Structure 1
Amino acid sequence: MHKKNSKRRWIIITVIVLVLTNAASLFIGSNYLLSPNGSVSVDNNTYNEIMKFKKLFAIRDELYKYYDGKIDDNALVTGAIKGMTSALNDPYTVYMDQQETKDFNSQIQGEEYVGLGMQVEAKDNKVVVVTAFDDSPAQKAGIKSGDAIVKVNGTDVTGKDLDKAVAMMKGKAGTSVKVTIYRAGKGTFDITATRQSIVMNTVTGEMLSNNIGYIQMSMFDENTGANFNKKMAELKAQGMKALILDLRDNPGGLLTACVDVTSNFVPKDKTIVSMIDKNNSKEVYKSKGGDYIGMPLVVLVNENTASASEIFSGAIRDYKLGTLVGVKTFGKGIVQNVFDTGNGTQLKVTISKYYTPNGENIHHKGIKPDIEIKYPDNLKNLPYDRDTDPQFKKALEIIKSKVK
């Protein structure tokens, strides 16, 4: 995902907002719009585009005539814009209000937030739990990877409502939130958890035996690149000669952070990822070079390894720089940009498809690992134990054979 601020306004949105504040001021004809500040002349194409939305204005007037309750024009405008993005049926294209924008930015910037401490993603039009952080309210309440969140405090949520669901689960420390869960084999049930401060630490690691390093990366936020380099330097100082990088349940994040991490292993100026937008414009991101090119590497992936994690995995696979172990990845081969839409709001929109160095778009397909090993279902409901994890054990076996 790109993160980019822009002060551009779409003229259609601007005029809609203007007219919604005074619907009676709309004058149809001669390509003029009469606003409270005077008439505005528009060209034929723009005028015709605006007139497609006249039903929206008519509905607003009917609400003012007949609705027996309080009407907030700002709420109507927000609802109309959210409706437009929702109609695209793309869970990654969303309009975020002020609170949703604040929550979204706190996550990608790696800031502390108050919530339940879990990662979720949109999958099959459901809000699905990727992972519950260790010792988090979510984990303590019994929420597990693979659970589908169907309601938050009684409000239905689907994959289209991903950002809304995340915002609803955040709040003040010490307050509770009721989450309705659907779990395969158990059905639907309620869980109540108490919000607490969550400090995001996306990079953790340690030295194993035989000079093998192990790093787990939970997502790519603004601090991930620097924290990854710091952890790699620590492990190298302890004698690391090979690395197991665990990207299981990593939903992705910032493209810039992904390029920083991937550059550690890909020779300088080699393509890491390329993106092509709707106008067939191509943008290529190349390796900056790093200190660990040629280091033996095994990457653990699973069905929740997505987006930026798949960009990393695709580069490692295409250049044959390491071994992928696990199961086929999620399959998110599209990129989003974030635009500033004023007053503390933002629009996150899918802008392009991305391609691995070999030119493959993995959207809805995923990346098949070099060695496929499934994590047993009977272990998913038990506390994690590395000694019984067949994917980790295979990764360790492979990396040991590469250490000289």
Structure 2
Amino acid sequence: MNRNFCRPLSKAVSVIAVITLLCLSGPNFVSAQENSNAGSLEYLDSMMDFIQDNYRDDVSDRQLLEGALKGMFAGLDDYSVFFTPDEASDFISDMQGEYFGIGVMISKAGDYVLVTKVFPASPAEAAGIVPGDRIVAVDGENIIGTAIYNASALIKGEAGTTVALEIIRGGQQGVIKVEAVRGPVRVNPVSYEINNEIGYIKIDVFNANTAEFLAPVMEDMEDRNISKIILDLRGNPGGEVNEVVAAGRYFIPKGLITRLDFKSEEAEDREYYSDLEKVRYELVVLINGMSASASEILAGAVQDTGAGVLVGTRTFGKSRVQNVIPLLTPEASEKYQKRLGVRLVDGFELISRYQVTPADDEIIGWVKLTTGEYFTPAGRTIDGVGLTPDVVVEDPVLLNGISVYNVSRLTVKSKPTLHTESVDVFNAEKILQMLDYDLDEPDMKYDVKTVRAVATFQKDMGLYSYGVLDFTTQSALNRELERLIKETDKQYAKAVELLDS
């Protein structure tokens, strides 16, 4: 992860202008007034002195001030928060859909960190890392048994730096050492497939890449004359207003998509429109309790305009809008007060109003601050209420502790045998566990117990029962996975039913 997000601030500003949550970047949201309560400031100074004099360990003024700022913003609502520069870097990278790393998806497999996906044209691909590799050390630090987020943090780093990985690869003896040069990795939040002339599109988050990655998907839908689409927004926590509006313009008929209303008189209220003259698709949108914020903008617009049907459970209910704003240090605030004759804490205000860009060390941190709210085309605000689906269908349940969404289809490209290890084995074990076959916790090892479970499955399916995960068996397991998805995911099944009727 690039820890120098605020260097230089002028570049950070252009980034923030794009990725502020549910709104365009606007100035003047957090400027202090000259008539601030002097007594409160003196009290804060006295409290800091009290801590300095009595607290057992050393603590700096900066630490105390950061703690005070965290407390101030945390007390406003559930969405306002103060970030230190490092924390802001992580947050902004997530929303921007780009981070600095090697380009792999990882998950836990027992005590191991398992590579489940390698992004095309990534540093990981260039280094020869493949799905199924188990990472056991990063820069000499053993990560067997470590939490997944700790492993991820070690693998990420500044662009251009090298990370040394030690991996175990199925079928090979010993540890393989590889080096990868960290670079920018862009996260694609859009996935899709076409089944029986119904297009299925899942959007994980509305990050800065969503519209770009959605465009070729919609082109493919058009080229293949797809007229029925299931849009899956389940678990989508939201993101950027420009991105969700761009997605909405494929589905929402001509007219209002959403309206943003801000408290500050200096922040212009916004209205976003679709210019779609004719709705092309029969649409079902899947939602649940974790569909929030920007995803509720799209779902609400679909419901209000009659562009489709909402299926699932009530959404989260967040219509509040946040901006991400750099805050000046006390020293910088005092410095610019002397120079400009006005007391400021908002770094954007300093830039936009006075054309002065503060230095990196003049920013104490960033605040994600609730600045307004959005409304659906019909003028509804759903904050704390959520959207009620047109067709209520309960959320999918786990099968023997496994979610069908955490299982990938077998590749049908190789035939794992006894004592081999692969991602296909891992997913086969998950499918078998969901089907209630007797085997150990899925760990991608094709051991004797897994062989026996496969042989039993083959017998039950009327196949030759010899325990080899051959192509016919893999195809049968894939069919069983499809069946489990349809049986377990009744929301998806209902969407298909509505579109087929």
Shorter chain as denominator, the TM-score bin is: 0.5 to 0.7
Amino acid at match of 1:58: S
Secondary structure at the counterpart of residue 137 of structure 1: strand
Mapped to 2, the partners of 1:249 and 1:282 lie a distance apart of 31
Q: Check if 1:263 corresponds to 2:267.
A: no
Q: Please list the CA deviations of residues 93-149 of structure 1 after superposition, one character each: whole Å capped at 9, or x if unmatched.
A: 01111111100111111113569x9xxxxxxxxxxxxxxxxx63268779xxxxxxx
1:112 counterpart (84, 99, 109): 99
In the superposition, relative to structure 1, how do residues 74 and 193 fare at CA in structure 2: closer, same or farther (>3 Å)?
A: closer
Mapped to 2, the partners of 1:140 and 1:324 lie a distance apart of 38
In the superposition, relative to structure 1, how do residues 292 and 51 fare at CA in structure 2: closer, same or farther (>3 Å)?
A: farther
Q: Check if 1:297 corresponds to 2:297.
A: no
Amino acid at match of 1:108: M
Aligned to 2:257: 272
Deviation at 1:200? 2.5
RMSD value over aligned CA atoms? 3.2
Aligned to 1:238: 224
Q: Note if contact 1:7-1:340 (Cα within 8 Å) is conserved in structure 2.
A: no
Q: TM-score scaled to structure 1, two decimals?
A: 0.68
Q: Note if contact 2:287-2:389 (Cα within 8 Å) is conserved in structure 1.
A: yes
Aligned to 2:78: 91
Deviation at 1:398? 1.0
Q: Please list the CA deviations of residues 185-213 of structure 1 after superposition, one character each: whole Å capped at 9, or x if unmatched.
A: xxxxxx9973256863200001111x221
In the superposition, relative to structure 1, how do residues 294 and 284 fare at CA in structure 2: closer, same or farther (>3 Å)?
A: farther
Query: 5+ unaligned residues in a row in structure 2: which ranges?
Result: 1-20, 113-137, 157-184, 329-359, 405-483
The structure in which a higher percent of residues are helix is: 2
Aligned to 1:375: 395
Secondary structure at the counterpart of residue 349 of structure 1: strand
Q: Please list the CA deviations of residues 59-81 of structure 1 after superposition, one character each: whole Å capped at 9, or x if unmatched.
A: 12223333343231221221111
Mapped to 2, the partners of 1:231 and 1:139 lie a distance apart of 32
Amino acid at match of 1:286: Y
Mapped to 2, the partners of 1:339 and 1:315 lie a distance apart of 28
| Aligned pairs for 1:350-369 within 5 A | 350-369=370-389
The structure in which a higher percent of residues are strand is: 1
Q: Note if contact 1:274-1:282 (Cα within 8 Å) is conserved in structure 2.
A: no
Q: Note if contact 1:137-1:193 (Cα within 8 Å) is conserved in structure 2.
A: no
Q: Check if 1:11 corresponds to 2:32.
A: yes
| Aligned pairs for 1:315-330 within 5 A | 315-330=301-316
Aligned to 1:392: 492
Aligned to 2:332: none
Q: Please list the CA deviations of residues 257-313 of structure 1 after superposition, one character each: whole Å capped at 9, or x if unmatched.
A: 111111122233x11111233468882422243587231111111111111011100
Deviation at 1:217? 0.4
2:46 counterpart (36, 53, 58): 58
Mapped to 2, the partners of 1:292 and 1:391 lie a distance apart of 27
Mapped to 2, the partners of 1:214 and 1:239 lie a distance apart of 14
Q: Note if contact 1:265-1:292 (Cα within 8 Å) is conserved in structure 2.
A: no
Kindly name which structure, 1 or 2, has the bigger radius of gyration based on alpha carbons.
Answer: 2
Aligned to 2:469: none
Aligned to 1:78: 66
Amino acid at match of 1:137: S
The number of residue pairs the alignment matches comes to 309
In the superposition, relative to structure 1, how do residues 379 and 319 fare at CA in structure 2: closer, same or farther (>3 Å)?
A: farther
In the superposition, relative to structure 1, how do residues 8 and 375 fare at CA in structure 2: closer, same or farther (>3 Å)?
A: closer
Deviation at 1:315? 0.4
Q: Note if contact 2:227-2:280 (Cα within 8 Å) is conserved in structure 1.
A: no
Q: TM-score scaled to structure 2, two decimals?
A: 0.56
Q: Note if contact 1:141-1:193 (Cα within 8 Å) is conserved in structure 2.
A: no
Secondary structure at the counterpart of residue 322 of structure 2: strand
Q: Note if contact 2:253-2:277 (Cα within 8 Å) is conserved in structure 1.
A: no
Percent of pairs with identical residues? 30
Q: Note if contact 2:257-2:274 (Cα within 8 Å) is conserved in structure 1.
A: no
Q: Note if contact 1:3-1:338 (Cα within 8 Å) is conserved in structure 2.
A: no
Deviation at 1:347? 1.0
Q: Note if contact 1:259-1:272 (Cα within 8 Å) is conserved in structure 2.
A: yes
Mapped to 2, the partners of 1:282 and 1:199 lie a distance apart of 31
Mapped to 1, the partners of 2:386 and 2:69 lie a distance apart of 32
Q: Note if contact 2:304-2:377 (Cα within 8 Å) is conserved in structure 1.
A: yes
Amino acid at match of 1:352: G
Q: Note if contact 1:262-1:287 (Cα within 8 Å) is conserved in structure 2.
A: no
1:314 counterpart (300, 315, 319): 300
Mapped to 1, the partners of 2:69 and 2:301 lie a distance apart of 37
Query: 5+ unaligned residues in a row in structure 1: which ranges?
Result: 13-41, 118-134, 143-171, 180-190
In the superposition, relative to structure 1, how do residues 277 and 335 fare at CA in structure 2: closer, same or farther (>3 Å)?
A: same
In the superposition, relative to structure 1, how do residues 381 and 226 fare at CA in structure 2: closer, same or farther (>3 Å)?
A: same
| Aligned pairs for 1:40-189 within 5 A | 42=34, 46-47=35-36, 49-88=37-76, 90-112=77-99, 136-137=106-107
Aligned to 2:151: 194
Mapped to 2, the partners of 1:192 and 1:256 lie a distance apart of 29
Amino acid at match of 1:202: P
